[in-house]
Amino acid sequence: MCGIAGQIDYDQNLQTQVETLKQMQAVLRRRGPDQEGVFLAEHAALSHTRLCVIDAERGRQPMTVCQGSRACTLVYNGELYNTEELRSALSRLGWTFSGHSDTEVLLKSYMEWGTDCVSRFNGIFAFAIWEAAAETLFLARDRMGVKPLFFSLLSGGGLVFASELKALLRHPAVPVELDGNGVAELVLIGPGRTPGCGVFRGVRELLPGQCGTFSREGGLRLWKYWSLQARAHTECEADTIEHVRFLVEDAIRRQLVSDMPVGTFLSGGLDSSIISAVAARALAEKGEVLQTFSVDYQDNDLYFTSGKFQPSSDNPYIASMAAFLGSRHTNVVLEPPQVARALFDAAEARDLPGMADIDSSLLLFCQAVKEQVTVAISGECADEIFGGYPWFRDPSVRPENGFPWAQSTAWRASFLTPEYAARLDAEEIVRQRYRGTLRQVDCLDTDTPEQRRSRQLMRLNMDWFMQTLLDRKDRMSMWSALEVRVPFCDWRIAEYLYNVPGELRNLGGQEKGLLRAAMAEWLPEEVLRRKKSPYPKTVHPAYLRLVSQRLQRLLDEGTSPMFAFIRREALEALLTHDDPQPWYGQLMTAPQTIAYFLQLDRWLHLYRPRLI
């Protein structure tokens, strides 16, 4: 993948602002270490850092294409998976191509079809196109929000955008400020984020499936080009199974295209095993052997205890699946001190406190994977789309009116100082965000209450929980310049599953039963029937000791900037390790909650936001 940044300003000559652009570019270099370039015009400045995956020489950016008096310049982060279909359609319309990059296809698609081009794309992307004659910028983000794009409207009337917050904040006209809404995001919502919110005051993120233009006359105009639409599901069970099989296999095969080595993440769970099985066969057809990668922790089997949300250890299933595939397998084993040390890098990579060691372990894992491949394929998003989480099926683990993965608003609010607790109505803030999402859920008049609730849960998970995981995957992988693709995030799968009744998604009474039925021929029986187990985390007591000691040092020093809005007493209570409430979802329990506040402290030191 890549990193993009830029500025549009109609009241100054940006050709004199190259140093500002290069400062923004410099902090995105981890996303794209192979090539970089800038484009400067009087009112537009665009930057690109590139990770070369396809057509290294003729896919350079910024890319400018001229057609008569018309000139368009593109900076693009992402990958198109229907490049060849688009290229064929454009060729029939008279377009020619100098190389085989998707960059050239994307830009010429825009020049042929205008802003409607995004409706033709199957891929993950965030891009900006400067139309020179009209002096108009076009911005777009993929339907599922896999690739990020932040922006800020400047007080002087311009616009600045970037792939990551750290690059946006390098622009001197973007204030580094944290208001009450930002504190609410950190303490009441984090590590999730309200859709479109950039946490810092005045910073926004383009929504999934959103695009827009910025022009001298019209300013910024944004619109959604895609959202989940309710339709009647008319296919029988057998046809539904066959349809899902086609969509999943097609998505995986499309995402294997690369000029660089490709591997898969393998946990021994259903989702990663399906991806690995399809990928292994596709590569075998070309005489190649799949490389698979898994993550584990020192002595985890010694300390692992089976529970409701983590019923089994991954290791036996990984070994079984790797043998079944005949893959070249690498198991990356992490030690507690490594995971604890990487918490700070993970916070810097995400530009926010995140999922603690769930983030830092992934960052370390991606670094190890990058030593062998440039592109990896992962199983994210199957649970959100196929209904894999317990709260999709079990009403006892989800509230009637609230986010299933964040049921501790009152406890979270207890961390706020009295000043901020009085300033922020915690329950109402979370309630408004929840209801705001429900208002966007498209339903049919004929939907039963169960069908309506099923649609609501899918939309809530896609807009909130899935975006947190996609943020994590993008930032942790791009910190190591590893491109990670997510086939289950193919918009065609989401669009189809949105209209499949919940009882059919859970065919046979098992979570993701429909997916299991569709892909049964690809997997050994023990993997096919394995109950869901989440991303593995360290359960070594040494990790809890390490993060607890760090937090105790912060409390003893008493100078942390987070004490401006976080109560010391609440942090001290964390060190008793006896609060059963999870901070976020099934994974962030006591060790991760402690680590979250360590990341918050680090983040405040890194970015030094002014509290307002």
CATH number at 68 reads 3.60.20.10
For residues 569 and 472, state if they share a domain: no
The tokens of 102 are what?
Answer: 């998707």
Tell whether the model's pLDDT for residue 418 goes beyond 70: yes
Q: What is the Cα–Cα distance from 488 to 609, expressed in whole angstroms?
A: 37
pLDDT-based confidence at 308, cuts 50/70/90? low
Residues 333-386 pLDDT 10s: 999 999 999 999 999 999 999 999 999 999 999 999 999 999 999 999 999 999
Higher pLDDT, 584 or 140: 140
Residue 193, in any domain of the structure = yes
Tell whether the model's pLDDT for residue 109 goes beyond 80: yes
For residues 265 and 368, state if they share a domain: yes
- When pLDDT is averaged across residues 298-305 and rounded to a whole number, the result is 80
Residue 534, in any domain of the structure = no
Residue 247, in any domain of the structure = yes
pLDDT-based confidence at 309, cuts 50/70/90? low
For residues 246 and 215, state if they share a domain: no
For residues 90 and 218, state if they share a domain: yes
Tell whether the model's pLDDT for residue 531 goes beyond 70: yes
Q: What is the Cα–Cα distance from 493 to 252, expressed in whole angstroms?
A: 12
Residues 59-98 pLDDT 10s: 799 999 999 999 999 999 999 999 999 999 999 999 999 9
pLDDT-based confidence at 270, cuts 50/70/90? very high
**25: nearest Cα among 80, 64, 75:** 75
Q: Are 523 and 273 in contact (CB under 8 A)?
A: yes
**Catalytic residue set:** 2
For residues 12 and 112, state if they share a domain: yes
For residues 505 and 581, state if they share a domain: no
Residue 93, in any domain of the structure = yes
- When pLDDT is averaged across residues 435-457 and rounded to a whole number, the result is 95
Give the pTM.
0.96
For residues 130 and 15, state if they share a domain: yes
Tell whether the model's pLDDT for residue 484 goes beyond 90: yes
Which SS3 state, helix, strand or coil, does residue 154 take?
coil
Residues 489-504 pLDDT 10s: 999 999 999 999 988 9
Tell me the residue range of the domain where 321 lies.
Answer: 237-400+465-528
Q: To the nearest whole number, what is the mean pLDDT of the chain?
A: 94
- When pLDDT is averaged across residues 424-452 and rounded to a whole number, the result is 95
Residue 92, in any domain of the structure = yes
Q: Pairing mode, if any, of strands 150-153 and 159-162?
A: antiparallel
Tell whether the model's pLDDT for residue 304 goes beyond 80: no
**571: nearest Cα among 557, 589, 584, 552:** 552
Domain boundary pick from 224, 259, 280: 224
Tell whether the model's pLDDT for residue 425 goes beyond 80: yes
For residues 295 and 266, state if they share a domain: yes
Instruction: Give the total number of structural domains in the chain.
Output: 3
Q: Are 98 and 115 in contact (CB under 8 A)?
A: no
pLDDT-based confidence at 310, cuts 50/70/90? confident
pLDDT-based confidence at 5, cuts 50/70/90? very high
Tell whether the model's pLDDT for residue 577 goes beyond 70: yes
For residues 493 and 545, state if they share a domain: no
Percentage above 90 pLDDT, the chain: 85
- When pLDDT is averaged across residues 178-188 and rounded to a whole number, the result is 98
Question: How many C-beta neighbours within 10 Å does residue 320 have?
Answer: 17
Q: What is the Cα–Cα distance from 106 to 123, expressed in whole angstroms?
A: 11
Which SS3 state, helix, strand or coil, does residue 178 take?
strand
pLDDT-based confidence at 580, cuts 50/70/90? low
For residues 572 and 519, state if they share a domain: no
Helix-helix angle 541-557:336-350, to 10 degrees: 60
Tell whether the model's pLDDT for residue 311 goes beyond 70: no
- When pLDDT is averaged across residues 121-138 and rounded to a whole number, the result is 98
Domain boundary pick from 201, 224, 247: 224
Tell whether the model's pLDDT for residue 313 goes beyond 90: no
